[in-house]
Structure 1
Amino acid sequence: MVIYGVALLAGCMLVGLWAGDVLGMMLGVTSNVGGVGIAMLLLIFLGGYLMDKNKMPASTESGIKFWNGMYIPIVVAMAASQDVAAALDGGLIAILAGFVAVTASFLVIPLFGRSQRPTPLEEQPPQTKSSPSSPAPIR
């Protein structure tokens, strides 16, 4: 059933968040350290194990695929908004560093485009005329 896939995903998420909190406490940080990544790795390994043992029906797998498609973009968007908020709290130097990185990326893109030039028409080998597919009739 699809609900089993959602339950597996939710269980991995809860265990991953708990492990991230414990890892944060062990490192002396007051935040979750890698909880989402731990949850995703746990889901990959647990899902692979269940598929190898033929214990995961196709409907359960479809439940996991559905929420993976929804979950990853949401987590990326949340992390990006937190990064922007932290940059704004960090002051002018954080905003300047972000601006410099984006500007440098835009300036490098044309260099990659120029690295492989197409061969001009004059330098290409001449194409031979193709012979007809059927021989000409003999008279």
Structure 2
Amino acid sequence: MVVYGVAVLSACLLVGMVIGDALGAAIGVDANVGGVGFAMILLVLLTDRLRRRGRFPDVTEQGVIFWSSMYIPIVIAMASTQNVVEAVAGGPVALLAGLGALAAGAALVPVLSRIGPPTEPLPPLEAEEPKGV
């Protein structure tokens, strides 16, 4: 059922928020640190494990897919409420974390591009001609 997929997503979000709050308290920040990110990582790991064991039917996956499509707008809305100026003024930790994430992402691009067998490149897009101008 679709509702089971939503339940899996909700459970991952709750666990991620608890982890984010605990991490924030551990480093002395009065905020949730990465709760949504932890939730998404947990969701990927959990759904992959359930899928490999055959316990994640297609109908249940539809509930996860529905809310996963809402992930980017939700993260953008959450990020717009954070005070970046105060985070940077609070110390170099925010800058170091941002630079570390940037460096890790840049370093992983070649690694991720080698996953899977080589394939043919996509054909070029054809430019559409204006209609009835």
TM-score normalized by the length of structure 1? 0.58
| Structure with bigger gyration radius | 1
Q: What is aligned with 1:33?
A: 33
Q: What is aligned with 1:129?
A: none
**Secondary structure of 1:42 counterpart:** helix
Does residue 22 (structure 1) correspond to residue 22 (structure 2)? The answer is: yes
In the alignment, the residues of structure 2 paired with residue 41 and residue 60 of structure 1 have an alpha-carbon distance, to the nearest angstrom, of 18
In the alignment, the residues of structure 2 paired with residue 74 and residue 33 of structure 1 have an alpha-carbon distance, to the nearest angstrom, of 16
Q: Which ranges of structure 2 fall in alignment gaps of 5 or more residues?
A: 90-133
Shift of 1:75: 1.6
Residues 64-104 of structure 1: CA deviation (Å, up to 9, x unaligned): 0000001322222321x224x5449x89xxxxxxxxxxxxx
Q: Which ranges of structure 1 fall in alignment gaps of 5 or more residues?
A: 92-139
Q: What is aligned with 1:46?
A: 46
Share of identical aligned residues, percent?
51
**Secondary structure of 1:8 counterpart:** helix
Does residue 68 (structure 1) correspond to residue 68 (structure 2)? The answer is: yes
Residues 26-77 of structure 1: CA deviation (Å, up to 9, x unaligned): 1111111111100000000000000000000101001100000013222223
Residues 1-29 of structure 1: CA deviation (Å, up to 9, x unaligned): 00000000000000000000011111111
Q: What is aligned with 2:81?
A: 82
How many residues are treated as equivalent by the alignment? 89
Aligned residues: CA RMSD: 2.1
TM-score normalized by the length of structure 2? 0.61
Larger helix proportion of the pair: 1
For 2:55, the aligned partner's letter is K
